[in-house]
Amino acid sequence: MNGTGRAARCSICSQLAAQESAYQKYGWAEGDTHLPGAAYRLVIVKDLKPNSDRKLQLQQCPECGTYYEHKTDYEYLVNGTEDEQHLARLSDEEAGEYLQA
Ligand SMILES: [Zn+2]
């Protein structure tokens, strides 16, 4: 079974698109976006940049086992920061590469 079919029947993954992004820009709160609540139910399997402020994590759905890549980024500005979060669904092959990394 491929990851997409499995995810479509999962109560968590069915609320997540294959790619999700969110941004929070300083001084523009009305333009802020956030990842869907379901994204926060994923569990961290592997932290690939444990010493970095910019995260790169392999996450997994606790219900169906689908893997996701969770990345964060930010920029320091004179008057604050801009933050980004990205979530991408992975195939089992892609997740396997992360697990071996
Ligand atoms: Zn799932």
Q: Which of 73, 60, 63 is nearest to 21 (CA)?
A: 73
Cα(61) to centroid of ligand 1, in Å? 5
C-alpha dihedral sign at 31, 52, 70, 93: positive
Please give the mean pLDDT across all residues of the chain: 92
Give percent above pLDDT 90 in the chain: 77
pLDDT higher than threshold 50 for residue 1: no
Degrees to nearest 5, angle at CA 58 with 54 and 64? 145
CA of 14 to the centre of ligand 1 (A): 7
Domain boundaries, position 90: 3-100
Q: Tell me how far the alpha carbon of residue 4 lies from the centroid of ligand 1, in angstroms.
A: 10
How many domains is the chain partitioned into structurally?
1
What mean pLDDT is predicted for residues 38-58?
96
Expressed in angstroms and rounded, the spacing between residue 73 Cα and the centre of ligand 1 is 25
Q: What separation in Å is there between the alpha carbon of 12 and the centre of ligand 1?
A: 5
Dihedral over Cα of 74, 37, 88, 57: its sign: positive
